[in-house]
């Protein structure tokens, strides 16, 4: 599975660029540490990246750049707002996505990744939700009402970042709570393909999602943008129907070894 490489110097940047074969889809994420939507975008992207196996020759390469630190690179790609995504292949810009719509980002990456001649396409399909046009760029809004609206909009995208999304304490490889650990185990036993978000790493999402979902606890499992519930409910659903989540299982798809 691919991971996102942080590029911090211009030398690293030019070296990375020159090392890429012409068929590789380069996913460049521009971020700023002070902009909250960037933290969510980082999660959406690392979830996406993990679905793409590291292949030979390289089918996708994922990098993250601090837009202010490496302002020269930002200028090259006309980055005026963050988060900002640029998709490049063979030195040509294929598409850019401005703003924090997880659905738009996923769609853009998936459609261009399929264009690659080498490497496996991702096995997860984006859901059919239409993405709202995201014109909000910098998160400079002070008004609390608007801030909440923004947060809810981001959450709306985040719960759709993958067809099955797990909001948990910790990560699947290092759960920080017994219930999260159990839910991860259940998903693994059922070979379910899912994206995850560590709510311990983002307090805004942690509190905001409780309100958005009207659900007081974690872990939370969301499927196709809707809340299924916590550990209890997932266990009950499975007890009632062993085919629950079957359509999200990896066994159903062609899997490339990572």
Partner 1 sequence: MAESSITESSIKAALEERLKAIHVEVQDMSGGCGQAFTTLIVSLEFAGKNSLKRHRLVNAALKEEIAQIHAWTAKCQTPEEYQKEQAATGGNDGPSFEGTSGGKVDGVQQ
Largest interatomic CA distance in the chain: 57
Q: What DSSP state is assigned to residue 68?
A: T
Q: Which of residues 169-198 bind partner 1 (CB under 8 A)?
A: 177-179, 181-182
Of 208, 97, 214, nearest to 149 (Cα)? 208
Tokens of 122: 């991702």
What's the min distance (Å) between Cβ of 207 and partner 1? 11
What's the min distance (Å) between Cβ of 223 and partner 1? 11
Total residues binding partner 1 (CB under 8 A): 19
- Asked if 1 and 53 touch (Cβ cutoff 8 Å), the reply is yes
- Closest CB to partner 1 among residues 126, 230: 230
Rounded CA separation 239/229 (Å): 15
- Closest CB to partner 1 among residues 97, 234: 234
- Closest CB to partner 1 among residues 37, 230: 230
Q: Which of residues 133-172 bind partner 1 (CB under 8 A)?
A: none
CA angle 105, 107, 110 (to 5 degrees): 105
| Strand-by-strand arrangement of the 92-98 sheet | 4-7, 60-66, 25-31, 84-89, 92-98
Site mask, partner 1, residues 204-243, x = CB under 8 A? Answer: ----------xxxx---------xxxxxxx-xxx------
What's the min distance (Å) between Cβ of 131 and partner 1? 26
- Closest CB to partner 1 among residues 96, 182: 182
* Sequential DSSP letters for 202-230: -HHHHHHHHHHHT--SS-EEEETTEEEES
What's the min distance (Å) between Cβ of 210 and partner 1? 9
What's the min distance (Å) between Cβ of 155 and partner 1? 18
* Binding residues vs partner 1 (CB under 8 A): 177-179, 181-182, 214-217, 227-233, 235-237
């Amino acid at each position: 599975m691919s991971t996102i490489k942080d590029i911090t110097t211009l030398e690293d940047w030019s070296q990375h660029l020159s090392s890429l074969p012409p068929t590789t889809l380069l996913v460049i994420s521009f971020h700023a540490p002070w902009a909250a939507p960037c933290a969510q975008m980082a999660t959406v992207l690392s979830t996406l990246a993990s679905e793409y196996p590291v292949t030979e020759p390289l089918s996708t390469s994922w990098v993250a750049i601090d837009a202010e630190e490496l302002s020269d690179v930002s200028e090259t790609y006309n980055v005026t707002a963050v988060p900002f995504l640029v998709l490049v292949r063979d030195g040509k810009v294929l598409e850019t996505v401005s703003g924090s719509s997880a659905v738009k980002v996923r769609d853009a990456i998936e459609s261009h990744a399929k264009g690659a001649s080498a490497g496996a396409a991702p096995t997860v399909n984006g859901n059919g939700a239409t993405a709202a046009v995201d014109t909000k760029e910098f998160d400079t809004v002070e008004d609390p009402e608007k801030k909440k609206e923004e947060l809810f909009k981001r959450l709306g995208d985040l719960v759709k970042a993958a067809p099955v999304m797990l909001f948990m304490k910790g990560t699947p490889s290092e759960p920080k709570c017994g219930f999260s650990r159990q839910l991860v185990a259940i998903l693994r036993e059922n070979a379910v393909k899912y994206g995850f978000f560590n709510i311990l790493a983002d307090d805004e999402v942690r509190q905001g999602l409780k309100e958005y979902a009207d659900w007081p606890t974690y872990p939370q499992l969301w499927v196709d943008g809707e809340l299924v519930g916590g550990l209890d409910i997932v266990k009950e659903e499975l007890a009632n129907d062993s085919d629950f989540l079957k359509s999200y299982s990896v066994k159903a798809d062609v899997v490339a070894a990572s």
